[in-house]
């Protein structure tokens, strides 16, 4: 039992570290929970994951906001739309199997990867965005990614970072900071469903949350210290791992 908790806490630390930089912490945390507790209901494991993740994500967001200037008009609209849409996505899971989205998500992630590799300066240098309705775009972006996170989830942070960098010409450091704010909103929406349903292993979540918070501190520190070019390289690696995982899951299932 103690060995299992130690393993999960180690995974939570690493998940927090990666997630604080470019998202993708679920790549580590969710499979570990399912491997250690195969007999527990999936909803409870997903709820536990969200309860752990929101602690590290909130801390990372605060750490970034002390060092990175943010466009709060854009962020507040994206976060609000994401909260509502994430709850709606979670509520509609039973209407359509989320696994059916895997092939489409793989294609989208591959497109994100190709674009990022092709544009050598993408996300490294901050530029001026093309003229477009910034606030309306933030609502649309938040709603789309929020619904996806509530309905399916893998790659949410990576999609957010890419879209903020692409649509607003932000560098990867600023886009990652913005993604954390929106991620807090989507996690809150998920917990609004999981907590009343009692779908959380509270004591385990508390132990893992401490480890996740420490990992988030380390990840945010590395990102801020090393800058956008470093975050871009980590982003590419995480997107590659996401694609590999989704391909494996598709072939296995």
> Which residue carries 């296995």 as its tokens?
252
DSSP 59-114: HHHHHHHTTS---HHHHHHHHHHHHHHHHHHHHTGGGS-GGGGHHHHHHHHHHHHH
How confident is the model over 112-158, as pLDDT tens digits? 999 999 988 887 866 665 555 678 899 999 999 999 888 888 788 89
**Rounded to an integer, what distance in angstroms lies between the CA atom of residue 34 and that of residue 29?**
9
Work out the pLDDT band at 240, boundaries 50, 70, 90.
very high
Does the model's pTM come out above 0.95?
no
Contact 83, 89 (CB under 8 A): no
Show Cβ contacts of residue 135 under 8 Å, excluding neighbours closer than 6 positions. Answer: 73, 74, 77
How confident is the model over 35-71, as pLDDT tens digits? 999 999 888 888 898 899 999 999 999 889 878 888 8
21, exposed or middle or buried, with CB in 10 Å at 0-12, 13-18, 19+? Answer: buried
HSE-up (13 A, CA, CB side) for residue 252: 6
**Rounded to an integer, what distance in angstroms lies between the CA atom of residue 58 and that of residue 216?**
9
**pLDDT score at 43:** 81
Contact 47, 200 (CB under 8 A): yes
Average pLDDT for 174-194:
90
Contact 231, 178 (CB under 8 A): no
How confident is the model over 72-104, as pLDDT tens digits? 899 999 999 999 999 888 777 667 777 778 888
**pLDDT score at 251:** 87
Tell me the C-alpha to C-alpha distance, in Å, between residue 93 and each of 45, 78, 88, 100, 150: 16, 22, 9, 11, 8
Contact 44, 241 (CB under 8 A): no
């Amino acid at each position: 039992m103690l060995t299992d908790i130690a393993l999960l806490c180690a995974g939570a630390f690493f998940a927090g570290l990666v997630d604080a930089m470019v998202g993708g912490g679920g790549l580590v945390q969710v499979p570990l929970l399912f491997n250690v507790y195969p007999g527990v209901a999936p909803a409870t494991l997903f709820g536990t994951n969200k309860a752990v993740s929101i602690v590290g994500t909130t801390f990372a967001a605060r750490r970034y906001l002390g060092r990175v200037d943010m466009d709060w008009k854009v962020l507040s609209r994206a976060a609000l739309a994401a909260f509502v849409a994430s709850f709606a996505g979670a509520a509609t899971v039973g209407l359509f199997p989320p696994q059916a989205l895997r092939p489409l998500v793989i294609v989208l992630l591959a497109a994100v990867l190709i674009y990022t590799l092709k544009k050598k300066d993408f996300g490294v240098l901050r530029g001026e965005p093309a003229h477009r309705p910034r606030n309306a775009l933030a609502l649309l972006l938040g709603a789309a990614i929020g619904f996806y996170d509530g309905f399916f989830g893998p790659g949410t942070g990576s999609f957010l970072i890419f879209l903020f960098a692409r649509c607003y010409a932000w560098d990867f450091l600023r886009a990652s900071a913005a993604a954390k704010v929106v991620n807090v909103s989507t996690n809150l929406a998920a917990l609004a469903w999981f907590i009343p349903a009692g779908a959380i292993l509270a004591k385990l979540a508390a132990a893992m949350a401490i480890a996740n918070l420490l990992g988030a501190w380390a990840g945010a520190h590395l990102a801020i210290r090393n800058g956008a070019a470093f975050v871009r390289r980590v982003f590419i690696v995480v997107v590659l791992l996401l694609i590999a995982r989704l391909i494996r899951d598709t072939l296995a299932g």
